[in-house]
Structure 1
Amino acid sequence: MTATVAAGVTRRVPIARAYRFELVKLISQWRIRILLGACWIAPALFVAAVSRQSTLPVDTLFGRSMLATGWAGSLVTLGFAGTWALPLLTSVVAGDVFAAEDRLGTWRHLLIAVRSPRRIFVAKTLASLTVILSLVAGLAVSSTAGGLLAVGDQPLIGLDGHLLGPADAAGTVLLAWLCVLAPTLALAGIGLLGSVTLGRSPMGLLLPALVALAFQLAQMLPLPVTVRMALPGYAFISWYGLFTRPYQLAPLLIGVAVSLLWSALATLLAYLIFVRRDFTGLGYEGGARRAVTAGLLPIAGLLAVTVAVLATTTGATTSGIDQDKVQRSIATAFAHLYRLQTDQLNRPPVTEEQLRTTAACTRGGGRLDPIGAGNDWRCVVAWHLPGTEAAGQAIYQLDLTPDGRYMADGDGPKEVNGYFLVRTPAGDAPNPLWQFDGNVDLLPAKG
């Protein structure tokens, strides 16, 4: 009797064993191996090569700092990864992890071996997550190592002009990389959903990349700040707030929380669809109707609820860019950078309290309302030196993007914010007041 019962018991494969099996399957694919090698080697070579060039990617955030500190190269790589690399990586891994079984027609064999659709889903999800995390870790470690070996461990200038020492720069760069894991997981969840729902269709593989492209286009539009922050793509740029003092933490935390919600919902939807699927058909092609009803509609509902919650809790209703915010940001950055320039030129030190820096900014020569993004912002910065009654003035032209990032270009006087070289511990460098990047907090100020 005991032998009969034991023979009739169906043992399911443990999740740990199924996970190892799926992980080996992923790593054995030639394209995954190529991606792993590229992520762990290519960023170091790229950063080291660019850091030795005279022409830098100045249109990229922290690009003009790549000759000054090795930490800048990692941040340039992070910006590129959030825009292009991470969406493509999640597409190749998560977007294909279920669809590959449909193309090969191996679901029956896998179900016989594992004997549980739930365990198959968990194993494949964990395996794809492991590979994605390994790819992100490779990008972070490789780019940082390349920058430090090529340039060195010098201080990094933040987005409000303050100087981050090597220890602070290391911690902040690491935290920035950790923050982009959240939107990467959101794209991975969308990839799992597309891979499960669309079957052998190539759209499942392309879905994370296409969604990420839509997020990028949305961040370029003059959307209300609540809509902007309700999209996971915002978390790919909200790490900018880590490089200001005080930290702009509220947008960052909102971006991470929204991304995790999207990741959880997309993964849950993928799970529910997968465990209810009929595996008897060998030629599963997916279902467009199911993709809309079970995938698109719940995510659209989450977006609408998130926008409503953010509008209620933050009180933000516009683009978040106004004259007062721009003036405060420019004045703060100028004061920090003026002190840095003073030290580099071996002039008597001054404090920010002594400088009493202010800024007056207009848009379109005063003809347009000073709100919103544009490349027609103009700021006149005024400051005072100890023992001097007259105020100094410097002019900046600003290119301000809808996400709050701006580049300030010095427009005179040339002795203050013109182009000339100054002596630094890392060698000759451009005048820090000539051109600099900044970031405007889009949320309303508290109090």
Structure 2
Amino acid sequence: MSNIQVPVNWMPRTYQIPLWSYLEKGGKRAVAVWHRRAGKDATALNWTVVSAFTRPGLYWHLLPTYNQGRKIVWDGRTKEGKAFRDAWPREAIRSENNTEMKLELENGSIWQVVGTDNVDRLVGANPVGCVFSEYSLQDPRAWDYIRPILAENGGWALFIYTPRGRNHGHEIIGMAKRNPRWFAQTLTIEDTQAIGVDVIEEERLAGMPEEMVQQEFYCSFDAALVGSYYGTQMEKALKEERICTVPYEPRLEVHTAWDLGTHDSTAIWFYQVSGMEIRIIDYYENSGEGMVHYAKVLAEKNYLYGKHYAPHDIEVRDFSVGKSRKDVAAALGVKFTTVPKLSVQDGIEAVRNILGKCWFDQSKCDRGIEALRQYKKSWNDKMRCYNDSPDHDWTSHGADAFRYLAVAFKEKRQYAVKLPRQTESNYDPLGY
């Protein structure tokens, strides 16, 4: 063990040296927004190797999903064809667990590739070094969970990614630039000269959208999020200042729209309707909890409730208890109305049709707003194009719940306009 030298057959490129030097001198927080193929994961992994021999402990390499972690890092290779796992000296590895994507070293250190698609699984561990790879696509709650652990144990965190619009990735690089204790660096192909313009042109000819070219190679945060279902509408809401402070109006009922998870997240939108306005006043999301928990959340918010909307699968009965979740909720005082079953595409169109009527409370709905901004189509690597189906990631829960909101509003409106005219002047045909 005493003769092992790390990194193994790797040296930082010239443009990678500032980050490496910062970490080598004891830096604890770094953000590297580098273009595609700039060697982000290789640099981060080799630093992790050095750290694992310097300070025995648990080290995580986090990707947006478990499957991405396996494909990109555990089974991945550098552009030179070298396996990422070859960064670890083979003679220093005590055991290797392919299922859990975990290596245990002879000195007691553990390195593991982790997906943030189920952040609750991260709670309870004590990592001393974390690489947040593709951070702009990750569930931002992962950092919220891990941050206090690293603060307590003096560990380090490295965020590496290319931009995906003005989301949490944009926020953290902005914060890092203002904080002298953080390292912040943005590198485009013009900065590194690592990729020629001819390669970029080949990508365009192969079908890569220009917005993605700007994101991936020129690190643009202003390029539209490619494949986003609601990006344009949410950007318009921001420009029209409909993402602001939206107070609770006690004289109006609060309706809720749910996406009910079993093993993953449950998301709830809280909204009020006034004439043609849909006022989104609150948002709540959690996972690993039963209906008792969510009924308690509703009660604690102390709103005057109207309808509670949920998808059709709430009526599916659990054969072990003979009751559906709708029955269980009703016993707890939450009486659900089942929304009509529409195709995902029809539901997405319903959302697009109502977003222009929506006002969002930017503080209470921040996570839900971000989910709507980033909800996007899945990418088909083989066909080099987007699929017609959504990408199932952390944004799906909030986006699905909002889809049920839109379908419920659409159905309510269709029902309302069929009613006969009322003689009373205060009649609201869209009233809930």
Q: What is the TM-score of this pair, normalised by structure 1? A: 0.22
Task: Name the structure with the higher helix share.
Answer: 1
